[in-house]
Amino acid sequence: MEKLDLTDAEWRDRLTPEQYHVLREAGTERAFGGKYNDNHADGVYHCAGCGLPLFDSRDKYDSGSGWPSFTRPIDEEAVAEKTDQSHGMVRTESLCARCDGHLGHVFPDGPPPTGLRYCMNSLSLDFEERE
Ligand code: FE
């Protein structure tokens, strides 16, 4: 995957302050506060930072967590993982593979077929309805 590598000033220019906080500072939006938690439309979720397609609505499910949740990325190359030891926990962070934007975390308590829960921030995503 070819990386998109922007300067901090370019990111600040491109993103809203809320998006910047989540994508570039690994922030977390309030549970049930994001615009896609309850989105049931058919389409594709892109990275709000660089536009890379990340998740398909067909893999979205209601986890009850308050954040949009998916069982898998649209393509295994699209979402990268990193160990996150912040806040006294060991978690797996998910990042956009192209721009390294923070998306959320992956937990091993999801439904079939993967058993994974990609717990994402709406602020990191840009939904496009399928035609
Ligand atoms: Fe991205």
Known active-site residue 119: yes
Q: What is the pLDDT of residues 8-23, one digit of tens each?
A: 999 999 999 999 999 9
Residue 104 DSSP symbol: E
From ligand 1's centre to the CA of 103, what distance in Å?
Answer: 9
**The pLDDT of residue 11:** 98
Confidence of residue 1 (pLDDT cuts 50, 70, 90): confident
**The pLDDT of residue 93:** 98
- Is the pTM for the entire model greater than 0.85? yes
Q: Give residue for tokens 């994402």.
A: 120
From ligand 1's centre to the CA of 110, what distance in Å?
Answer: 24
From ligand 1's centre to the CA of 47, what distance in Å?
Answer: 5
Q: What is the pLDDT of residues 28-77, one digit of tens each?
A: 999 999 999 999 999 999 999 999 999 999 999 999 999 999 999 999 99
What whole-number distance in Å separates Cα of residue 54 and Cα of residue 79?
7
Residue 30 DSSP symbol: P
In the numeric block, which tokens belong to residue 103? 């998306």
From ligand 1's centre to the CA of 60, what distance in Å?
Answer: 19
Q: What is the pLDDT of residues 70-113, one digit of tens each?
A: 999 999 999 999 999 999 999 999 999 999 999 999 999 999 99
Question: Which of 50, 96, 99, 119 does the annotation list as catalytic?
Answer: 119
CB pairs under 8 A, 24+ apart, for 76-80?
77/1, 78/1, 78/52, 78/53, 78/54, 79/54, 79/103, 79/118
